[in-house]
Every structure is written in C-alpha cells, then in structure tokens.
Structure 1
Amino acid sequence: MSTPFLLSYYGDDLTGSTDAMESLSLHGVKTVLFLAPPSKDQLAPFADYSAIGLAGTSRSESPEWMETHLKKALAWLKSLNASLCHYKVCSTFDSAPDIGNIGKAVEVGKALFEQSCVPLVVGAPQLKRYTVFGQHFAVFDGEVHRIDRHPVMSRHPVTPMAEADLRRHLAKQTPLSTGLADVLCLESVEVDAQVDQLSHSNDILLFDTLNRDHQAKVGEQLWRTRLPGGSYVVGSSAVEYALVNTWREHALIPSNPPLFSSPGSVEKIAVVSGSCSEVTARQIRFAEAHGFRAIAIDVVNLIDEHTHAETLHQALEDAIEALNQGESVIVYTAMGPNSDADAVHQGGETARHLIGRSLGQLLRKMVEIHGLKRTVIAGGDTSSHALSQLGVHALTTRLPLPETPGSPLCTTHSDQPAFNGLEVALKGGQIGGENYFTSIRDGVA
C-alpha cells in the first residue's frame, strides 16, 4: 500500500493528539486526527492529506492494556506506510510504571517495527519545555522549573514527576537502555557519526533540545536515520516541531505557513472540565468573573453508583438553566490538584473513565438541546472519554492558537448532523492563560 503520508501518529490522550495536529497544521502539513481507525468512507475525504493521527487513551491506561490495545493501534498506523510513526506523549513526560507507561509504549512499537533503537524527543521551545543533558524543564508562571520541582507536575494527582533525568525516569518503566544525544553532540561537526554510534549501542536514544537550533538538528537526525519501511519515534509534539524544519528544506511542505481565518465570536459556549490542574482552576475562576456560570460536580457522588445518576441529572439541569439565560457555562469536577484527588485515585481507572464519559454525556445534551456551535473539553485524561460520547470520528484544525500552543480550536467530523462541523477546543491541564475560556468564546487567537 503506497500513501503520501509523511507522518502517522498515536496520541496518548486527546489533547496531546490535537497538540500534534496543531503543530503540523501551523506549518502547512494537512493533518486529520481520527478517534478510531476509520472506515474507507471516513478516510476518503482526506486522501490528499500528508499526516494522519489516531487519538488514544494510553496516558491513563495500564501496561497490560497497552500490550493489547496499543499494539493493535500501532499495527494499523504501520499499515499506512508513513515515513515516520510517532507515539505522542505529553511535553511534561509525566508517566508511571503502572499508568501511562512510556517505556512500555517504546517496547511495543520497537518490537512491531523491528527497530534496534527508538529516538525520543521531548523538549519543545515553542511549548517552553527544554531538555538539557537529559534533564527536563518546564515553565510555570514565567519561570523555568526542573520538572521534579515544577509546582504543578511534581504534584500531579496521578503521575507526579519525582525525577528530572528522563533516562532515570524511563528506567523505572522499562529495562531497555537509553542513550543521550546531548547538546554537545548536536553542536558537534561529527553529529551524524555520534548519533549513529549511540543508536547502535542503545535501545532508546534521547535527544536534548534547548533551543530552535538544536530542534532543527534533531529533525535532521530523525529524517536522516528513518528506515525504508518507516520508523517508530517517541516524544512530545517536539517531534513535529523538529521535523517541519527538515521537510521545508526538502520542499516536502510549503515554504510559507498557511493563513487561518478567525471564526468570530459566539453568544455562548459550554465547557466541561475534568482537569485537576491549578492552571485550569485559574481559568475557571477568571471565566466565572467574566460572564460564565461555573457549576461544580461533587466528584465523590459522581463516581458512586448510588448517587451517580442523580448527580449527573442535577448538573445538567443547572447547566441548561444557565444556557437558557444566555450564559456560557463551565461544568467541572475539580478545582485544582487537591480536589478530592484521593477518592478518584482510589477509584482508579474505572473512576477516571467514568468522569470523562459523564462529562461527555453532559456536553452532548447541552449541544443537542441548545444547538451550540462551539465547546471546550478541559483535561487530557478527560477529553478522549468525553468526546467519544459525541459520535465524532475525526478532527481537523479550525484555528491554531499560537499564544497557547497545544490547544487549537478544531472542527469535528461526524456521521451525526448535530455534531458534524461542531467547533471544539481540547485543552490540556497545563495549557493556556487565565482568559483561555473567554478567548475561545470570543474567537480570539
């Protein structure tokens, strides 16, 4: 099977998947993101696209789940014969041996692609994420923090980052060896030879990225070392940001970025949020102070089988009342990292998935009853499960948001008329300024 795809990718959650789609679309790489392997009829409208993604849930899944489900997903992507197949992870690299295990994802893809060494790229200056001598850093409130001292990621309720050295972090998840192509290697005149040597002696090769010059060199190495039948690479949207430089040099993509028109403002939007991030909490408070109705759901009652239905029904009644009054609405299950985190953690995978599906059911009802044209789902672990309730099979980029990269406004593709052409923004917990929700309502990039 011959295809024009430069890249195929699997996103370990939905917001991460749209992050990768946005970074490609911004540079003129026509990209479609599917929520499940498509039928021939669903795939047909995108025959001239250069990149294809598959949104997954592995960020919130176990290694046992990955062994079965991730293997099937990657096998479908491999069948597309794209030049590179990317397993997309969060730019903060948060993961754990028992949930969202990135090491296990490397193992599955490495075996499927019969690849001796898997490249790993996490640093993305565009997202204010940096990897230097294997240590990972991220910005919060304008200040760069080592990831294990990051005010949010060090306290993540499910996958807290307690180690900044990504090689040591990975060693807790897989026995595979990880080498490092550090900034000195990337700046060397012998970079090709050094990368080849490191690749031959390691199962995984982590690339440093401090600035865009390093990023461009990483892209060159990913493209140079790809295998004839397609190669497997792991990392954040740093992979896409690195590759576009090389593709442009090879005239594989347009030299000038495309222009996206503003969608304009809408009277009201609906937001559902399962994010436990303090960033999202600030955004909810800001929106509430600027015309949104914020509706809290007691997450303990939501995940209790005896009180679930009543809790969901009450939240829907409150949301519909607000929409009837012409207000935008935010329905949320957490206000910051300490919001009933113990109850959710004890409920495990079942509780997390139930929260996402429940928020999706609420959103579906709000769209159906009010004919809403624009919505937001906040929370990386939440988005996949929530959007599945809307009958959406694919997403394309409606409006990239360069001021808050990783959270584009998307257009939905669905066989159900009520949800086909819906505009939806999918926001990860750490993404966006305080005015994010109001900006989406107002159609401001």
Structure 2
Amino acid sequence: MLLGAVADDLTGATDLALTLARGGMRTVQVMGTPAPDLDLSGVDALVIALKSRTIPAPAAVAQSLAAARALEALGARQIIFKYCSTFDSTPDGNIGPVADALLDLLQTPLTIACPAFPTNKRTIYQGHLFVGDLLLSDSPMKDHPLTPMRDANLVRVLGAQTKRKVGLVPYQIVAAGADAIKSAFERATGDGISHLVVDAISDADLHAIGAAVSDLPLITGGSGIALGLPENFRRQGLLAQRQGDTDFRAPHGRRVILAGSCSAMTRQQVAAAQAAGCPSFRIDPLAIAAGKLSAADIVNWVVGQNNVDKPPLVYSSADPAEVEAIQGQLGRTEAGESVEHLLGEVAVRLRDIGFIEFLIAGGETSGAVVGALGVAALRIGPEIDPGVPWTVSLCKQPLALALKSGNFGAVDFFLKAWGKLP
C-alpha cells in the first residue's frame, strides 16, 4: 500500500477516494478500522471513513490514531488526514487536536492544512477560505447547525485549536511552484512552525502543492490536496499508469433518496426534485420525539410510490431558522441524531424488501445509514458531480450507494444521478 487516509466523515472519505481513483490508484474505502480478513491485495490507497467530525475532541483523536496505526501496519508510506473543504470544526477542534496527535504518532515536525477544492469553488487566498465569491464566514456555512463557521481566517481558526505554531504559505509562493513551496516548508520547520496553511486557488496550485509534499509523512486537507499525490508515486516507480476502474458495475433495483442535510444546496436539490415530480415525504423531528412517526410509517409510504422514473424522496432538510427552533426544543445534537437513527432504520427495512439503489444526502446522515446497513467497504465508481461518485458495497448483497456531502452536487443532482449508474 502506498497511501493511507483518515477521513472525519463518510462523504468526505468517498470524495477523497474518488480523487485518488481518478488519479489511477486502486482505491478501497472502509468504514472504520478495516477488518483483519479484508482482502486488500493490489490496493494502492486505503481510505478509512470515521464519524469523528463533531464528536468530543478526545474521542476524535482516539479514533483517528487507531485508524492511522492500522494504515501504518498495512505499510502506508504517507498518511492524509481528510476533513471538509469548508474546514468544518468548532473552536475546540477537532481538526487541530487530531492533526497534533498524528504529528506525534508519525514523529514528524510539520504538516500542511489545505482544504481547497477549486472545482467546487473552495479556494484559499492569504489564508482566508472562500466559498465561491464569499468568505467562508459570509457563506451559508455560518449557519451550519453543528459547525457554524464564522471566521474565514484559517490561520486564526487552526491557531485556536492547537498549542503549536501555525503559519502561512501565501499565494505568491505557491504560484512560484513546487520548489518554492518546499523551501517555505524548510523555513517553517526552522521557525518552529508545525502547521502551515497553504493558499490555493486552482487545480494547478494543488498539483504544485502535491509535488511539494512528496516527502511529508502527514498531509491534512480536503480531497483536492490529493490531486498531485499519485504522480509522486509514479515518479518513484511505485505506481503504474492506469485509467481508473474500467470494469465497475453496479446492481440495479428499486431506488430511494434519503436527505438529512440542512445545507443550502441540499435544500435546493430537494426543491428541484419536488418541482420535477418526485414524490416526497418530509420528516418532522418533533413528530419523532412525540412517538407519532416511525420507520414503518415511512417505509409504507415509500413502498406505495410506484413511479420508477421519479424516485421517492424522504427528507428532513429545513432552513436555519426552523432548525434552530427544533434544536431549541429537542437539543442541539438530539434533533439531528433522532433523524439519523430513523433514516438508518428506514434504509435497513427498505434493503430487506429489495431496494438496491440509495442516494444519501448529508455526511452525518450517510454515516448513520451506512452504519445501519452494516456496509464495511466500498468500491469507487463513476463521478456524478465533483466530489460525489457512485459506489458499490463490498458485501454478499451489494448495494449501489451515492453518498453526497450536504453542500456538494448541482441543483439537479437528485434527478441526474441515476443516469450515471453503470
């Protein structure tokens, strides 16, 4: 194995696995530390998906260290700590504490922090993260129900999460190329800096950064940081030239959309699907808490929808004001967890009666559903939209799964995804 990755949520792991697979690396994604009997022969990259983004920092550190140790044992030459391209975290972590722990584990003095993903309009300039034309702090992420991001200055945000020194590689150095970036790494190490936020506004920048980090044992960032990594291994004669997974085939059967994300983009995707005629069922967290809504109720509704061209949509997506009101009654975490648990149970019941194709929107929701289904590993398939592929579960009863981060995908994602499934 050449490359190992620890991802703090499921959809982010899938996004990274897609990037590596497109770069020609034979990539497998697993949920949690891989089982000893999992066949990883011939695998170039292994991505371990955790559900650690919003749990207490000590638990996130413990899970991430266990995953990294497993990757080391499998022979990974380099490790990526993957988090969201909008740097989703709280003032207490978990990005800083996990990165610090991994630096200690790998006994290395320096890593980078680069969540840039220009294809999805996430760019970094002078240490400030932009979402499209907006600073992160002015984007819809400022209202995220679990990780509201109200400061776009990543040097300052990361600095609040670590006791180590945080620095910046500004764009003028990045634009000068890989050698200039490497020189910045050397200067930072001499200055006692452990975390370097690196500017990037284009894929060309990410390729240059990728070349510069070839000797770093640890890299942290979004999936975009992996764009240049496969070529490093090719230059070393460790990776063959190949064109992704050409024999990917998915099972086909009844399909359903389960959307738990309340992001602005997912709400637009829900509205677009409804406008196109997809039957929809909205989950009310208050009804769950009152015992007035069960998984059986939702499954009965889904089964009753027979239009194969318009898959049924089950969603809990709501605008920030409504989410805040519900959280005020049920609690900040309890509201989301009740929906996630319910959608997990719905997915299991649907699978047991023959549903095969699942489109899941939201990182936390995807983690809950995949966990409930008992999926241990995924094979990465074709891209639907940047950062979102179809996958197939590696189990006795394969399922086709599209696991979408809340903010990813075009407005028509729920409608066009099915046409991308081989």
Please confirm whether the aligned pair reaches a TM-score higher than 0.5, indicating the same fold. Answer: yes
1:353 aligns with 2:343: no
Residues 117, 301 of structure 1: CA spacing in aligned structure 2 closer, same or farther, 3 A cutoff?
same
Aligned ranges 1:147-158 → 2 under 5 Å = 147-150=136-139, 152-158=140-146
Determine helix, strand or coil for the equivalent of 1:90: coil
Query: Cα distance, 1:204 vs. partner?
Result: 0.7
1:218 aligns with 2:205: no
Determine helix, strand or coil for the equivalent of 1:8: strand
User: For the residues of structure 1 that align with 2:101 and 2:335, how far apart are their CA atoms?
Assistant: 26
Check the 8 A contact 1:262/1:444 in 2, yes or no. no
Determine helix, strand or coil for the equivalent of 1:438: helix
Residue 394 of structure 1 aligns with which residue?
377
Residues 331, 36 of structure 1: CA spacing in aligned structure 2 closer, same or farther, 3 A cutoff?
same
Report Cα offsets for 1:154-189 as digits up to 9, x if no partner.
221221211111011112222221111122223446
Residue 130 of structure 2 aligns with which residue?
137
Residue 122 of structure 1 aligns with which residue?
115
Check the 8 A contact 1:61/1:349 in 2, yes or no. no
Residue 68 of structure 1 aligns with which residue?
62
Aligned ranges 1:227-376 → 2 under 5 Å = 231-255=217-241, 257-258=243-244, 260=246, 268-302=254-288, 304=289, 306-307=290-291, 310-323=293-306, 328-344=311-327, 347-369=331-353, 371-376=354-359
Check the 8 A contact 1:265/1:442 in 2, yes or no. no
Query: Cα distance, 1:327 vs. partner?
Result: 5.3
Partner AA of 1:275 in structure 2:
S
Report Cα offsets for 1:85-114 as digits up to 9, x if no partner.
11110011121135x521111122122222
Residue 105 of structure 1 aligns with which residue?
98
Structure-1-length-normalised TM-score: 0.87
User: For the residues of structure 2 that align with 1:343 and 1:245, how far apart are their CA atoms?
Assistant: 48
Report Cα offsets for 1:275-331 as digits up to 9, x if no partner.
0012111111211232321100111232x2x517x4333222222222588852111
Report Cα offsets for 1:113-136 as digits up to 9, x if no partner.
222122222112233211111111
1:379 aligns with 2:332: no
Partner residue of 2:78 out of 84, 99, 104? 84
For structure 2, the residue ranges without an aligned partner over 5 or more in a row are none
Partner AA of 1:175 in structure 2:
K
Determine helix, strand or coil for the equivalent of 2:388: coil
Determine helix, strand or coil for the equivalent of 2:108: coil
Query: Cα distance, 1:343 vs. partner?
Result: 2.9
Farther-moved stretch of structure 1 (109-118 vs 22-31): 109-118
Determine helix, strand or coil for the equivalent of 2:312: strand
Report Cα offsets for 1:210-240 as digits up to 9, x if no partner.
22332122111110x33xxxx2221111221
Structure-2-length-normalised TM-score: 0.91
1:405 aligns with 2:382: no
Report Cα offsets for 1:350-384 as digits up to 9, x if no partner.
44333222211101111221x12211111012111
Residue 207 of structure 1 aligns with which residue?
198
Check the 8 A contact 2:4/2:47 in 1, yes or no. yes
Aligned ranges 1:40-51 → 2 under 5 Å = 40-41=36-37, 43-44=38-39, 46-51=40-45
1:12 aligns with 2:1: no
User: For the residues of structure 2 that align with 1:127 and 1:251, how far apart are their CA atoms?
Assistant: 31
User: For the residues of structure 2 that align with 1:191 and 1:297, how far apart are their CA atoms?
Assistant: 49
Partner AA of 1:391 in structure 2:
G
User: For the residues of structure 1 that align with 2:358 and 2:261, how far apart are their CA atoms?
Assistant: 16
Query: Cα distance, 1:64 vs. partner?
Result: 2.7
Partner AA of 1:438 in structure 2:
L
Report Cα offsets for 1:16-53 as digits up to 9, x if no partner.
00000111111211110111222232x21x31010001
Query: Cα distance, 1:252 vs. partner?
Result: 4.1
For structure 1, the residue ranges without an aligned partner over 5 or more in a row are none
Q: Identity percentage over the alignment?
A: 26
Check the 8 A contact 1:268/1:323 in 2, yes or no. no
Residue 39 of structure 1 aligns with which residue?
35
Residues 50, 318 of structure 1: CA spacing in aligned structure 2 closer, same or farther, 3 A cutoff?
same
User: For the residues of structure 2 that align with 1:90 and 1:14, how far apart are their CA atoms?
Assistant: 11
Query: Cα distance, 1:386 vs. partner?
Result: 1.4
Residues 316, 153 of structure 1: CA spacing in aligned structure 2 closer, same or farther, 3 A cutoff?
same
Partner AA of 2:296 in structure 1:
H
Report Cα offsets for 1:388-419 as digits up to 9, x if no partner.
11121101112123xx21111001012xx4xx
Report Cα offsets for 1:333-363 as digits up to 9, x if no partner.
1233334334347524444333222211101
Residue 181 of structure 1 aligns with which residue?
169
Determine helix, strand or coil for the equivalent of 1:85: strand
User: For the residues of structure 1 that align with 2:296 and 2:203, how far apart are their CA atoms?
Assistant: 49
Residues 311, 372 of structure 1: CA spacing in aligned structure 2 closer, same or farther, 3 A cutoff?
closer
Check the 8 A contact 1:408/1:426 in 2, yes or no. yes
